[in-house]
Amino acid sequence: MSSLPPSSGDHHPLRVLRRAWKTPRPFMAMWYGSYLLLGAAVAGLFAIMVPLAIVATTHDSRLVAYVIGAYNAGLLLSPAWGLLAERSQDYRPIFLGGFAGAAVGLAGLSWPLAPPFLMLAALIVGIGTGAASTVASLFVLDFAPRDEWEPRLGWLQSFNGAGVVVGLLLAGLWTHDPTRGIQIAAVLMLAAAILGAYHLPVSRTPRTPRPGLRHLDWRALAPFGHSELSGGNVLHHVHIPILAHLKEMRILIQSRFGRFLLSWATLSFAVAAFFAYFPLLLRHVFAIRPAVTALSYAVVAAVAIGLYIVASRWCSRYGAMRIYRLSLLARAAGFGLLWMLMLIPGAAQSLPALIGFGIIVIAWPGLSVSGTVLTGQLTPTSEGAAIGLFNAATALATVAGTFAGGPLVARFGYAAVLVVGLGGLIVAWLLFANIRAGASTSAASSSGPGK
């Protein structure tokens, strides 16, 4: 894509979406269906079913944060799976084994196990999910020509986004029996392992990995979403921050990129507990049945799939800084609406609360795209080191925020989740408010395909 902003008429959302769906179908593959099932099982069913099942069986709200936190901690191993796949060339076993491992973990979560074993099962789900997701991106980036990265990744992410919608719709059907919903997620993971075995890229000598093992160039990622729609976990395509980049870390942290990174980490920490508890919060505070929550989430998630493409165009036209600030404000407005509704007892809260929840979720495409673009634009050194820090900050802040949610909810109730979310988003906006636009000084920014 051209690095110059297209004409203003090109930014109409319907035109943008039509162009995206006209991408040649040969860039799709049958194994993309396994990525759809991954989205359905993890970002759909897991996100709704696991909190409901844990509270129903243990009556301990703190355990929700610890189990979801263990899942997010498992995702921290994603870079290691990418490194292992590229060094050993065992792409296929790691990819299919990730699905199988996640299925085993999900099966464990469906049993009334002791808390340590529930956390272990969630950790296994995170490890398996991270392995499958990471190698899925490598099947594109290490086997396909560079000029096919964007359309192939676009279709891969579209399949995953569609899977999220399917999973949320299934969750709406099984909120009365969340344990059965988790078992369905396990079956979907096994089906993903079977489907993923068909028509995987096959080459005796895969394409040589990029220098520095950059598992996803930021330009290729910017127009497309991450592997989930809410921004509530750390499932991202990853870059491995290798030792050659350690000397650049101090420079990065002290630059305006460092201030952006602090803002992004604050955002990730602030919303992590909310996305662990949202089915329970909406049910207990706003009397919204989990089935309604799942259906509403599915509708918003379906809309968000197209917004990734629109957000990428808007970043080109209006600037990623502006889109990032506006997206932060939008998400803060959603949290603010939920907080105000809590302060008005007896009011008709369900519909306004769903609107607030929808705003929180729909702000993610703008945050995801603008955040990834800013990572490339603001770095004063190599984009590789910057993306390594970006992913590390996201992962660690999300894990910390999720685990912190447990004691907060136990001590102060679900109101604490909204206070932390709203306060953290305001702080994130203030941290970024004084950063000014300027030309990227990254030496790598002039090479490769632009947005």
pLDDT tens per residue across span 310-336: 888 898 889 999 999 999 999 999 999
The Cα-based distances of 155 to 16, 148, 223 in angstroms read 15, 11, 11
- Per-residue pLDDT averaged across 80-93, rounded? 88
Task: Return the closest-CA partner of residue 375 out of 245, 270, 275, 263.
Answer: 263
CB 352 within 8 A of CB 262: no
The pLDDT score that the predictor gives to residue 221 is: 37
**What confidence tens digit (pLDDT) does each residue in 12-67 have?**
445 545 555 555 555 678 888 999 999 999 999 999 999 999 999 999 999 999 99
Query: 61-75 vs 383-412: helix axis angle to the nearest 10?
Result: 170
- Per-residue pLDDT averaged across 339-361, rounded? 88
The pLDDT score that the predictor gives to residue 290 is: 95
CB 109 within 8 A of CB 118: yes
**What confidence tens digit (pLDDT) does each residue in 191-221 have?**
999 998 887 876 544 555 444 433 333 333 3
pLDDT of 236 strictly over 50: no
The Cα-based distances of 375 to 84, 222, 255 in angstroms read 25, 10, 12
Amino acid identity for residue 447 in this structure? S
The pLDDT score that the predictor gives to residue 207 is: 54
- Per-residue pLDDT averaged across 413-439, rounded? 88
The mean-pLDDT minimum among 94-103, 133-142, 376-385, 396-405 falls in 376-385
pLDDT of 239 strictly over 50: no
How confident is residue 281, by pLDDT bands cut at 50, 70 and 90?
Answer: very high
How confident is residue 253, by pLDDT bands cut at 50, 70 and 90?
Answer: low
The pLDDT score that the predictor gives to residue 60 is: 92
Q: Which two tokens stand for residue 24?
A: 């040649």
| Higher-scoring residue by pLDDT: 25, 241 | 25
Half-sphere exposure in the Cβ direction for 135 (13 Å, CA): 33
Is residue 54 classed exposed, middle or buried when 0-12, 13-18 and 19+ CB atoms within 10 A define those classes?
buried
- Which 3 state secondary structure label does DSSP give 143? coil
CB 230 within 8 A of CB 365: no
For the chain, give the number of residues. 451
Phi then psi for residue 149, to 5 deg, are -60, -55
Q: Which two tokens stand for residue 264?
A: 């992004």
Domains of the chain (ranges, CATH numbers):
20-198 (1.20.1250.20), 226-231+241-435 (1.20.1250.20)
- Per-residue pLDDT averaged across 236-250, rounded? 49
Q: Taking the complete model, does pTM exceed 0.85, yes or no?
A: no
Integer Rg of the chain from CA: 21
What is the pLDDT of the chain when averaged over all its residues? 81
